[in-house]
Structure 1
């Protein structure tokens, strides 16, 4: 029996490593194995930023990958947490009654949804702002090069 609460917290806390996918679909889930790739690339972008500074073009292209992955996993935690017990049990607990306990929502599930909403939206907005800021700075710099 797959618990909705456990899946929501795994998606929020360990989603960028694919833990929620492995919990729900098993170790053979290919998307679970692919999720650590953008996470690792984003962490590498942060390390490049620390080593080479804010003018490193590779780092500003890689860092949003981490942010978008975290935000996507937070979105999945919200989707899991808000799923009806009937739909949850039909999808992840086949053969269980529609109102089985693992599909029920409790305060821990709501806590995962609230934390995912807060941190996921914050990280998503920060990633978008970071991407656009560096994109427009790059465009201004290229415009200056052309005008000279």
Structure 2
């Protein structure tokens, strides 16, 4: 097998930009990878939740669990990009370029910038998904609000 070596920088950016749809998993492990399909299903559920949120508003109970699934898929892809970008070049070469012509192309600043972007995107999306999901869960647990009662404020 004398193919071109796989770039760690390209793999980092692929995990960041297309990882929510499982592209990084499908590229490395093929179409039979269950984690890649799980990424894809979670992201499609998240996009469906986003559409339901736009159509039905914040009161839609289905969007409350669908939207955080997409966010978790994005956060998991960002974590994969961070792990890929921080893998030492020697370990990357042994794991992904065994039997390929040449060595690993030097990762340089491209992988470092990918890790920084993944950390920024992943942390933001993870915290937003958790905040939205937990807020909706607590609202659904509290039951219907009684707005007919007026509260008096002591003066």
Residue 78 (structure 1) aligned with residue 113 (structure 2): no
Gaps of 5+ in 2: 147-155
Give the conservation status (yes or no) of the 8 Å contact 1:16–1:35.
yes
1:122 is aligned, of 124, 130, 152, to 124
Partner of 1:132: 134
Larger relative helix fraction: 1
Partner of 1:92: 96
Task: Output aligned runs, 1:56-71, within 5 Å.
Answer: 56-71=60-75
Give the conservation status (yes or no) of the 8 Å contact 2:15–2:24.
yes
Give the conservation status (yes or no) of the 8 Å contact 1:81–1:112.
yes
TM-score calculated relative to the size of structure 1? 0.87
Gaps of 5+ in 1: none
CA–CA separation in structure 1 for the residues paired with 2:6 and 2:144: 53
CA–CA separation in structure 2 for the residues paired with 1:30 and 1:128: 24
Give the conservation status (yes or no) of the 8 Å contact 1:9–1:112.
yes
Give the conservation status (yes or no) of the 8 Å contact 1:42–1:62.
yes
CA–CA separation in structure 2 for the residues paired with 1:37 and 1:112: 25
Q: How many residues align?
A: 142
TM-score calculated relative to the size of structure 2? 0.83
RMSD: 2.1
- CA offset at residue 143 of structure 1? 8.9
